[in-house]
Amino acid sequence: MSTLLKNVTNCIWHAFDSLQNNEVVHKSKLKVLTANIGTLLDLYGVEKGLDHFRSSQELTFDEFRYYLQHEVFSSLPKTVTLPVVREYEKKISEVCWFVCRKSLLGRDKPVFGDDSVFKLFRIFCLLADLVQDSEESSRYVVVLQPSEAGIVAEQLVLCLGLRWDAADWEALGSSIGHFKWAAFLAVLEAKYCCDHQLHAEALVEAVDEIYDVFIEDIIKKGYLYKWGYLLPTMREYWCVLQPCALTYYKSSAQREQCGRVAIDEYCSVEPAPSAGDGKLQRFQLVTPERTFEFATQDHKSRLQWVSALRQAAAVSGGAEGYQRRARAGRRGAGARREREARETRARLQNEVRARLAAEAQAQELAELSKKDNKKLEELKNAQAELERLLQEETQAKRDEEIVRALQARVLTEEWEKREELERLQEEQNRMLEEERLKRKQFEMLQAEKEAQFKEAERRLKELEEEKQRLDAELRAAQEKISQTEHNALALHVQLRDHPIFRNGERARRAISFVPTTKSSSDTLIDVKAIRHLKVLDDEDKL
């Protein structure tokens, strides 16, 4: 993992520098540092190879870095995700800080706390360069370019609510040159954080803010509304956007994580259909797994979040963090500016040489003209020529005055036309504003009509369901009446065929007792008819 070693080289150099003596460090000290780094990377026993590495008992930084690259970091997988790389960097930085913190924390009037200084140290190592102290010496030093240091200082000043003076920083950067760690920390504390009105909590919050930007690669954070998956409602969360993920919490304290949305180059941000309430500005984050719906309170915040999410999706690939890529882009632009400056200086030098050659040639001509006093006639002709040129120049000045007068008239006409155009533009803007108001009223009327139409559809559906229920009850009642009539007819036939019908009077009595139609109590009537028949049978027996 050459990328990981490259990212933590500056931190390792500071640890090496705190241990070195005359540009070398004894292997026994390097074993402890190497063992701690290997333990963090889940590699054990990597420090044992130092005994057989080189024949000397002391190593330079180049030799130690070569050993780390080929014996330690080469054992890691070639492809590691960005969160894993960021976690490795943090752990290795903490180990290196533990080794060198005593030498880097020493100062007369400290302003920042130890934790804040460690965070500034990580930012310094992220943006700084490892360069040789001199061309003849093999000693290295970590320095920060004035432009990069200015970016950190500007962010810190703005987080503290102060005014940033770019011209003052340029003067300071040109006087100091490259910033080493001690100078960088001293400038931040003595120049921008020495105000007694600043509270310690404000300094801690400001350092945490720039730490999140540079180290944690937080592109944006703030409150967002999210549409729930299990509970379909909009809930407000504190969201933190990084190039690889959007994490949302219950509050800005970021203690209770509610979820995490992975972001890659296949994600996209699209506008969401309006819900009709008109209060929230919605948009969708489309991932390969599912689509998430978010919303903001106003249109400006929606545009900012959409832009930030698209930027996060664009820089999500690879194992390099967002700030490291931005730093590389700034270095490339700086190299281009330096190259253009060198070309400009070379062109100016060529022009200066050409001008000096022309002046030397003019001087030679002047000397020749002084020596050649015999050519008086030519000088007279030259005088006559000069007079003619003077007349031509006078005429040219007159023509120039005429042209200027014409230009003044054209400019006057142009101003008049511009005023007319501005008036037309104001009228057009007014008409556009009226058109927007009419469109908004039409949209509100259309939304109201749609709500009425939906309510009518719902009522019609309820009426249809009520009609179906009544039809079912009517059919059940009709079937019950038909069954009742059928039972009455069968009972009538049974009574007519019974032996008691031989006696005419009893037959009439029995038949008259049977109802022609059945009501809801026809079952009870059938029982009474049967009992009456039994009574008639008993009378016959008697």
Tell me the per-residue pLDDT of 315-351, one tens digit each, with 9 for 90 and over: 876 656 677 777 777 776 666 776 777 788 788 888 8
Instruction: Tell me the pLDDT band of 223, cut-offs 50, 70 and 90.
Output: very high
pTM, entire model: 0.59
User: If DSSP codes are grouped into helix, strand and coil, which group holds residue 469?
Assistant: helix
- pLDDT above 80 (res 195): no
Count the neighbouring beta carbons within 10 Å of the beta carbon of residue 217.
Answer: 22
What pLDDT score was predicted for residue 193? 80
What pLDDT score was predicted for residue 530? 54
Q: Is residue 489 part of a domain?
A: no
Q: Is residue 416 part of a domain?
A: yes
- pLDDT above 70 (res 518): no
Q: Are 109 and 189 in contact (CB under 8 A)?
A: yes
* Residue-averaged pLDDT of the chain: 82
Q: Is residue 341 part of a domain?
A: no
Is residue 461 located within the same domain as residue 505? no
Domain of 246, CATH number, reads 2.30.29.30
Query: Residue 204: CB partners within 8 Å, gap ≥ 6?
Result: 113, 115, 116
Compute the distance between CA of residue 284 and CA of residue 427 in angstroms, rounded to an integer.
Answer: 37
Look up residue 139 and give its two tokens.
Answer: 């000693």
Is residue 140 located within the same domain as residue 169? yes
pLDDT digits (tens, 9 = 90+) for 92-124: 999 899 988 888 888 778 888 889 889 999 888
Domain count within the chain: 4
- pLDDT above 80 (res 512): no
- pLDDT above 70 (res 525): no
Q: Is residue 316 part of a domain?
A: yes
Q: Residue 296 is inside which H or E element, if any? A: strand 291-296
Residue 441 identity (one-letter amino acid): Q
Q: Is residue 360 part of a domain?
A: no
For the sheet with 245-249, list strands across it: 257-262, 245-249, 234-242, 220-227, 291-296, 281-286, 268-271
- pLDDT above 80 (res 214): yes
Is residue 393 located within the same domain as residue 504? no
Is residue 236 located within the same domain as residue 206? no
Is residue 313 located within the same domain as residue 429? no
* Residues facing 249 on adjacent strands: 238, 257
Q: Are 112 and 207 in contact (CB under 8 A)?
A: yes
Count the neighbouring beta carbons within 10 Å of the beta carbon of residue 46.
Answer: 20
Is residue 210 located within the same domain as residue 229? no
Q: Is residue 487 part of a domain?
A: no
- pLDDT above 90 (res 224): yes
Q: Are 323 and 126 in contact (CB under 8 A)?
A: yes
* Domain boundaries, position 445: 375-478
Is residue 60 located within the same domain as residue 201? yes
Mean pLDDT of 382-410: 90
pLDDT digits (tens, 9 = 90+) for 436-490: 999 999 999 999 999 999 999 999 999 999 999 999 999 999 999 999 989 888 8
Mean pLDDT of 509-518: 48
Q: Are 311 and 218 in contact (CB under 8 A)?
A: no
CA angle 248, 249, 252 (to 5 degrees): 115
What pLDDT score was predicted for residue 2? 73
Compute the distance between CA of residue 280 and CA of residue 226 in angstroms, rounded to an integer.
Answer: 11
Is residue 425 located within the same domain as residue 520? no
Compute the distance between CA of residue 204 and CA of residue 337 in angstroms, rounded to an integer.
Answer: 36
Compute the distance between CA of residue 133 and CA of residue 150 in angstroms, rounded to an integer.
Answer: 22
Give me the percent of the chain exceeding a pLDDT of 90: 21
- pLDDT above 60 (res 507): no
- pLDDT above 90 (res 198): no
Is pLDDT larger for residue 280 or for residue 197?
280
Burial class (CB in 10 A: 0-12, 13-18, 19+), 305: buried
Query: Could you tell me where the beta strands, DSSP code E, fall in 409-501?
Result: none
- Nearest-CA neighbor of 261 among 274, 273, 275, 249? 249
